[in-house]
Amino acid sequence: MEPKMSASWSKRHKVDSENRAFNPNWTADFLFIMPSYLNAKPLCLICQTTVAVNLKRHFESKHSNFNTAYPPGSVLRRDKIESLKSSYHTSNLILTTSATVQEKATAASLRAGELLEFMNDVPTMSRVAFLCDITGHLNTLNLQLQGRASSVGDLFEKVCVFQRNFEIFNTDLTGKMLHFPTLRVVATDETSMKMMQEFMNNLIKNFQMRFENFKIPKDVLLFVRDPFVVSADGPCPSEAKNILHSIDEGLIQSSDVLKAKFRELGPCDFWTQYADQFQNSQNLAVFLLTMFGSTFLCESGFSSMNIIKNQHCSHLTDEHLHQCMRLALTSYKPVFTKLARERRCHLSH
């Protein structure tokens, strides 16, 4: 008895280890296909049964009448096989889609549970609300510091105003929270409040450290931005003269015509067009107004250059690049109707 069992096991092991490849002809002969999923076995298209070995015996014992209804090699048999294969793929797609939708629903349910647990955590939600509000204030400052027409004085004034607002924010944090609308509607514990106050104090120190080396006096910047609101005997002229000697601020302030022109044109046009007779003050104003307050112009210039110098402009010369950059960065807007009106037409004789 033992030798027979051993021989039977050996034969089964030999069949399993042969790792035979699926023959495509078995589809036409025995109506079996090989599914595409991992570790798949041949599948009968008629009864949807998987068979590991001896496909022919399964076909002849279970579906012997198929050859009679659909003779081998006939067009009728080929069309029937294609119909069975299409039906199988459709049903398989429905099952796969259903399983995928169920998996997505399960994953969404788990995420919703995690989110609900996160939102019910009072310390975490209070810190998120605080960061939402303080980040909003910082974003507002960031937008104010962008743009082409802002001078150093304009930018520095906005930073100074924001630094003064920090003291208001710090006081308001433990009060009515008027500047923290998101935090106001969220419960806050004592530990989180201490962390927020510490964060605000560190933020104030960070701003002070970043701008402590800005050596231009505020009154000098005010004189350049509006020389008619600064007293000739005040601290501004003396501080300005430390930068540039012989400032003639008194002569400027005595002219009502210049004051009207300043109100009409603004600092840049006034200092460049109507202050030639006050050379020293003009030099000071030009010195400050031409300083780059931020890297906005530089970065926008590089962005324009990267757009111009692309892979399609392989024959672009330095002169052409210079002309394209001037067109991209200039603020001049030509009046095309005027140019067309003034253009002379040369009629042929």
Residue-wise pLDDT tens for the chain (349 aa)? 445 545 554 555 444 444 467 888 888 888 888 887 777 888 888 888 888 778 888 888 888 888 888 888 888 888 888 888 888 787 777 766 666 767 777 777 888 888 888 888 888 899 999 999 999 999 999 888 887 777 888 888 888 889 889 889 988 998 899 999 999 998 888 889 999 999 999 999 998 888 877 767 777 787 788 777 776 555 555 555 565 555 555 556 667 788 888 888 888 888 888 777 777 778 888 888 888 777 777 888 888 888 888 877 778 888 888 888 888 888 788 888 888 887 766 655 5
Nearest alpha carbon to residue 26 among 15, 34, 38, 35: 34
Q: How many CB atoms lie within 10 A of CB 24?
A: 10
Report how far residue 235's alpha carbon sits from residue 220's, in angstroms, rounded to the nearest whole number.
9
Report how far residue 247's alpha carbon sits from residue 280's, in angstroms, rounded to the nearest whole number.
6
For 293-310, what is the HEC assignment?
CCCHHHHHHHHHHHHHCC
Structure tokens at 238: 């003396």
Domain residue spans of the chain:
24-120, 122-210, 229-289, 309-342
The residue to which tokens 């009072």 are assigned: 122
Report how far residue 296's alpha carbon sits from residue 145's, in angstroms, rounded to the nearest whole number.
9
User: Could you tell me how far CA 269 lies from the centroid of its own chain?
Assistant: 38
CA distance to 323, 326, 328, per residue, from 316 (Å): 11, 15, 15
Report how far residue 216's alpha carbon sits from residue 224's, in angstroms, rounded to the nearest whole number.
12
- The helix (H) or strand (E) run that includes residue 156 is helix 152-173
Nearest alpha carbon to residue 152 among 292, 296, 270: 292
